[in-house]
Amino acid sequence: MQDEPVISWKVAGAMVGLLLILATALVKPLGVSTQYVVTDAVLLHSAAPALAESNEYLSQYGDKEDWGVGYGWMLVVGMFIGGGISAFITRRFRSREKASLPSMWRSEFGESTPKRMLHAFVGGGLLLFGARLAGGCTSGHIISGISQLTIGSFIFGIAVFASAIFTARSLYRGRLAS
Amino acid sequence: MKLIIGLSIGIAFGAVLQLGGASSYRKIMGSLLLKDLDIIKLILMAIAVGTVGIYALDLVDMANMSIKPTYVAGIVIAGLIFGVGFAVAGYCPGTCVVAAAEGKTDAMMTVLGGLAGALLYALLYPAFSGLIGVTNYGQITFASALGVDGIWIAIPFSAILLILMFKVLKDRYD
B38-85 confidence digits (pLDDT tens): 999 999 999 999 999 999 999 999 999 999 999 999 999 999 999 999
What pLDDT digit, counting tens, does each position of A9-65 carry? 999 999 999 999 999 999 999 999 999 999 999 999 999 999 999 999 999 999 888
Cβ partners under 8 Å of residue A63, min gap 6:
none
Q: What's the pLDDT score for residue A94?
A: 65
Alpha helices in chain B (DSSP H): 2-19, 25-32, 38-59, 72-89, 95-101, 105-133, 142-146, 151-163
Q: What's the pLDDT score for residue A131?
A: 98
What residues in A contact B49, CB-CB < 8 Å? 13-14, 16-18, 20-21
Q: The whole model's pTM is what?
A: 0.95
- pLDDT range class, residue A175, cuts 50, 70, 90: confident
Q: What's the pLDDT score for residue B21?
A: 96
Residue of A nearest to B40 (CA): A9
What pLDDT digit, counting tens, does each position of A115-130 carry? 999 999 999 999 999 9
- Which ipTM value was assigned to this complex? 0.96
Q: Does A24 touch chain B (CB under 8 A)?
A: yes
What residues in B contact A137, CB-CB < 8 Å? 82, 92-94
CB pairs under 8 A between A and B: 518
Q: Does A177 touch chain B (CB under 8 A)?
A: no
Q: What is the DSSP letter of A63?
A: G
Q: What's the pLDDT score for residue A1?
A: 43
Is the CB of B83 less than 8 angstroms away from the CB of A84? Answer: no
pLDDT(A81) > 60: yes
Q: Does A133 touch chain B (CB under 8 A)?
A: yes
What residues in B contact A51, CB-CB < 8 Å? none
Angle between helices B25-32 and B38-59 (to 10 degrees): 90
Helix (H, G, I), strand (E, B) or coil at B141: strand
Is the CB of A55 less than 8 angstroms away from the CB of B125? Answer: yes
Cβ neighbours, 10 Å, residue B67: 20
